[in-house]
């Protein structure tokens, strides 16, 4: 395949979004009281924002005879206000924790903090002033930033109050992740991941309709593919565009489905023709993961395939299902490209993909399905999980009727590995929808995302396990993100899949 990576990056750069800046101030104003050692103030901005914060500080009393030493902490969710980072022992960098220790040698001063934060609350703690003066906070404000254009937001009529709230919070989540690219989370990891992009793009089609941002991200992934043309799991845009050196089986494959949904929404055939070879390549690379019986080879390498952040999850059956799902999408793309007269694909190519997908389906039925349980099982220990079974349903390994039976059996299974991310819950809801279980899908959506709302969410979280509020795959919930792209999908489910109370029956 010709190396067009540089050209793809150049195209992506043409679609850089225009940023929208708005200055906001805390709802509760500034304290009237001057502050001494040990005092602290919490500023509540009333909603979740992403941006740069400015504090104007001065002093009262005698001349400032020692630096003012303060700690400033930024929290997306209220619970973070009470979390103590000093004993953080998680396995991802504590550099993500949003707090600063600052000396102000000379007052008055204007502190313009250089980092971009994701927050609703800003807590200022006075660590030290002196006996002779006190600290005054004259003003606090933030220049907030997003590339989402609120005036382009499509309206949605006929929602119940709860649905409206879920929709608003989902849109807020998407909006605040819309930056120079679709970020996964503005607190962490602040970069473009393809699994997140795939879902953000769907929510964007239902709301802001900023399709050029999806196009930019697709070109970025194609432009940062490696020498083998494999799409990486995520990429950075600063200081310059660079792909990360991590790969995940499912994430590389999702390039295909993301391109297909982009085409369905925009009919932008030029982009599809440009990126078609990159899509084909992901399938070819994924083929190498199968044994001679067309069964996915299992692996215990952490993160070889993602599916969900449940660390106990075996990925074999889920990976097989994602492959089938993606190959079906590839066949659709191939037809589109063929209809447009492209020479990159032939009828024979399509036929051979059809044979391959049939082989993978037969193998899944024969080797990964437990007839007695009516469930897919994964790995040496025949693990049953929501992830594997939801993906098997989405892949259409069996027909709708049997798929509904599988999901019913899953509900009854007491030993199933559960889901921990809204990302996986989204796929479960889609699986229910795909086999006609609309009511169950609706109940699941409203109880899971509604649960976060009841928890006070202004934006939806990266991880939410109603059974365990401290769930974190990182060794500590301090680094969890509370505005996370992959949780914004209820707006898509309600607006585009008709998953609302009014549409049940």
Rounded Cα distance, 73 and 43, in Å = 10
Rounded Cα distance, 211 and 207, in Å = 11
H or E stretch covering 53: strand 40-61
Q: How far is the CB of 434 from ligand RAM (least distance, A)?
A: 22
Q: How many CA atoms lie within 13 A of 101 on its CB side?
A: 4
Rounded Cα distance, 317 and 377, in Å = 7
Rounded Cα distance, 256 and 262, in Å = 10
Q: How far is the CB of 135 from ligand RAM (least distance, A)?
A: 36
Contact 158, 445 (CB under 8 A): no
Closest of 306, 330, 329 to residue 318, by C-alpha: 306
Question: With respect to ligand RAM, which residue has the nearer C-beta, 379 or 422?
Answer: 422
Contact 426, 444 (CB under 8 A): no
Question: With respect to ligand RAM, which residue has the nearer C-beta, 195 or 223?
Answer: 195
Question: With respect to ligand RAM, which residue has the nearer C-beta, 43 or 492?
Answer: 492
Q: How far is the CB of 487 from ligand RAM (least distance, A)?
A: 9
Question: With respect to ligand RAM, which residue has the nearer C-beta, 193 or 369?
Answer: 193
Q: How far is the CB of 500 from ligand RAM (least distance, A)?
A: 27
Question: With respect to ligand RAM, which residue has the nearer C-beta, 17 or 185?
Answer: 185
Q: How far is the CB of 121 from ligand RAM (least distance, A)?
A: 21
Q: Phi/psi at 53 (nearest 5 deg)?
A: -110, 140
82 C-beta neighbours (distance < 10 Å), count:
8
Question: With respect to ligand RAM, which residue has the nearer C-beta, 119 or 398?
Answer: 119
Which residues of this chain interact with ligand RAM, rule CB under 6 A?
184-185, 189, 193, 195-196, 306, 462, 486
Rounded Cα distance, 343 and 338, in Å = 7
Question: With respect to ligand RAM, which residue has the nearer C-beta, 45 or 474?
Answer: 474
Question: With respect to ligand RAM, which residue has the nearer C-beta, 123 or 172?
Answer: 172
Q: How far is the CB of 254 from ligand RAM (least distance, A)?
A: 10
Q: How far is the CB of 394 from ligand RAM (least distance, A)?
A: 18
SS3 track for 190-255: CCEEHHHHHHHHHHHHHCCCCHHHHHHHHHHHHHCCCCCCCCCCEEECCCCCEECCCCCHHHHHHH
Rounded Cα distance, 78 and 25, in Å = 18
Q: How far is the CB of 463 from ligand RAM (least distance, A)?
A: 9
Q: How far is the CB of 194 from ligand RAM (least distance, A)?
A: 8
Tokens of 375: 């469930």
Check residue 11 and report its DSSP letter.
H
Check residue 154 and report its DSSP letter.
P
Question: With respect to ligand RAM, which residue has the nearer C-beta, 305 or 397?
Answer: 305
H or E stretch covering 330: helix 316-339
């Amino acid at each position: 395949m010709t190396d067009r990576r540089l050209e793809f990056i150049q195209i992506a750069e043409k679609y850089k979004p225009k940023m929208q800046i708005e200055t906001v101030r805390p709802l509760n104003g500034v304290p009237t009281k001057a502050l001494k050692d040990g005092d602290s103030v919490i500023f509540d901005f009333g909603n979740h924002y992403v941006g740069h914060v400015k504090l104007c500080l001065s002093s009262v009393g005698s001349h400032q005879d020692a630096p003012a030493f303060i700690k400033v902490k930024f929290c997306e969710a209220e619970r973070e206000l009470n979390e103590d980072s000093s004993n953080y022992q998680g396995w991802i960098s504590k550099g993500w924790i949003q707090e600063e220790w600052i000396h102000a040698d000379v007052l008055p001063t204007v502190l313009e903090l250089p980092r971009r934060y994701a927050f609703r609350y800003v807590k200022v703690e006075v660590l030290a002033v002196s006996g002779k003066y006190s600290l005054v906070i004259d003003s606090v404000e933030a220049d907030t930033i997003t590339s989402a254009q609120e005036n382009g937001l499509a309206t949605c009529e006929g929602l119940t109050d709860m649905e409206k709230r879920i929709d608003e919070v989902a849109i807020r989540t998407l909006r605040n992740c819309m930056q120079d690219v679709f970020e996964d989370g503005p607190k962490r990891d602040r970069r473009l991941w393809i699994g997140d992009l795939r879902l953000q793009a769907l929510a964007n089609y239902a709301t802001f309709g900023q399709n050029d941002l999806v196009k930019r991200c697709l070109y970025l992934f194609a432009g940062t593919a490696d020498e083998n043309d494999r799409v990486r799991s995520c990429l950075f845009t600063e200081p310059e565009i660079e792909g990360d050196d991590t790969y995940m089986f499912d994430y590389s494959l999702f390039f295909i489905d993301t391109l297909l949904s982009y085409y369905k929404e925009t009919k932008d055939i030029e982009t599809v023709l440009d990126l078609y070879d990159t899509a084909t390549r992901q399938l070819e690379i994924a083929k190498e993961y199968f044994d001679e019986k067309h069964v996915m080879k299992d692996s215990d390498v952490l993160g070889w395939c993602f599916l969900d952040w449940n660390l106990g999850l075996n990925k074999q059956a889920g990976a097989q299902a994602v492959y089938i799902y993606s190959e079906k999408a590839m066949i659709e793309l191939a037809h589109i490209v063929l209809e447009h007269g492209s020479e990159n694909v032939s009828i024979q190519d399509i036929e051979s993909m059809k044979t391959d997908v049939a082989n993978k389906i037969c193998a899944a039925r024969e080797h990964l399905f437990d007839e007695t349980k009516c469930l897919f099982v994964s790995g040496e220990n025949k693990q049953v999980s929501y992830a594997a079974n939801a993906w098997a349903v989405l892949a259409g390994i069996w027909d709708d009727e049997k798929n509904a039976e599988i999901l019913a059996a899953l509900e009854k299974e007491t030993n199933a590995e559960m889901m921990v991310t809204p990302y996986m819950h989204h796929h479960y809801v889609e699986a229910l929808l795909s086999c006609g279980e609309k009511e169950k899908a609706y109940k699941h959506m409203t109880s899971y995302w509604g649960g976060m709302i009841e928890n006070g969410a202004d934006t939806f979280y990266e991880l939410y396990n109603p059974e365990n509020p401290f769930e974190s795959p990182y060794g500590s919930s301090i680094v969890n993100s509370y505005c996370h792209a992959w949780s914004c999908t209820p707006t898509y489910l309600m607006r585009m899949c008709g998953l609302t109370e009014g549409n049940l029956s």
